[in-house]
């Protein structure tokens, strides 16, 4: 089976109103949360073979802070089409993934990341699925084991294995 990680960028800053939305960086809270999320994924053995990321500054910075725990393993592609992409664009990106990749991460933005994570999570722990349907905060990652072994059939969805939420990790760390 294929494993798909749908990730939303960490908390971003609105501190400099002269920046375009595409150029907004992470806020301090996001800079602290991104490495925690990456470490949690690595601890769960959720290491991507391929990462597709939006070109926005906040997604690039989120990845840069997560990447060290993956020991340089993933191949990373920054794609302009993922910046504020529709779920259809994200699915098309997933469908183009090389067959040899077993686990991928798509690092993007809401509302598409949330909508797609909720749509593709067809089974799993009911309370986690309810939480996912309700809210997908910055820094969240939904890890879904797809029911198909073919990336072109990702739309069939699968089982929500993990819902990683930065606030949970921060509480566990005592922050």
CA atoms in the 13 A half-sphere facing the CB of 66: 33
The two structure tokens encoding residue 136: 């997908």
pTM recorded for the entire structure: 0.95
Non-local (6+) Cβ contacts of 142 within 8 A are: 5, 6, 7, 117, 120, 121, 132, 136, 160, 162, 163, 164
DSSP 34-67: HHHHHHHHHHTT---SEEEEESSHHHHHHHHHHG
Give the pLDDT confidence score for residue 118 in this predicted structure: 97
Q: Hey, which residues does 123 pair with through a beta bridge? A: 159
CATH of 3-173, one of 3.40.50.1240, 2.40.30.30, 3.40.50.2300, 3.40.50.300: 3.40.50.1240
**Residue 23 · residue 139 · CB < 8 Å:** no
pLDDT per residue as tens digits for the range 26-69: 999 999 999 999 999 999 999 999 999 999 999 999 999 999 99
pLDDT at 172 over 90: no
pLDDT per residue as tens digits for the range 101-160: 999 999 999 999 999 999 999 999 999 999 999 999 999 999 999 999 999 999 999 999
Domain ranges of the chain: 3-173
Q: How confident is the model at residue 175 (pLDDT cuts 50, 70, 90)?
A: low
Give the pLDDT confidence score for residue 132 in this predicted structure: 97
CA dihedral sign, ordered 7, 8, 9, 10: negative
Give the pLDDT confidence score for residue 158 in this predicted structure: 98
């Amino acid at each position: 089976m294929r494993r798909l990680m749908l990730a939303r960028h960490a908390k971003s800053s609105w501190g400099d109103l002269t920046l375009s939305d595409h150029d907004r960086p992470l806020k301090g809270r996001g800079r602290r949360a991104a490495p925690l999320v990456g470490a949690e994924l690595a601890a769960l053995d959720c290491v991507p073979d391929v990462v597709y990321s939006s070109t926005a500054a906040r997604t690039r910075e989120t990845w840069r802070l997560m990447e060290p725990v993956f020991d340089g393993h993933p191949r990373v592609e920054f794609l302009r089409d993922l910046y504020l992409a529709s779920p259809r664009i994200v699915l098309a990106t997933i469908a183009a993934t090389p067959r040899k990749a077993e686990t991928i991460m798509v690092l993007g933005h809401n509302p598409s990341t949330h909508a797609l994570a909720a749509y593709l999570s067809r089974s799993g722990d009911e309370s986690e699925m309810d939480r996912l349907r309700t809210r997908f905060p910055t820094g969240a990652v939904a890890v879904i084991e797809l029911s198909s072994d073919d990336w072109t059939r990702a739309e069939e969805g699968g089982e929500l294995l993990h819902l990683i939420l930065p606030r949970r990790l921060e509480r566990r760390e005592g922050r």
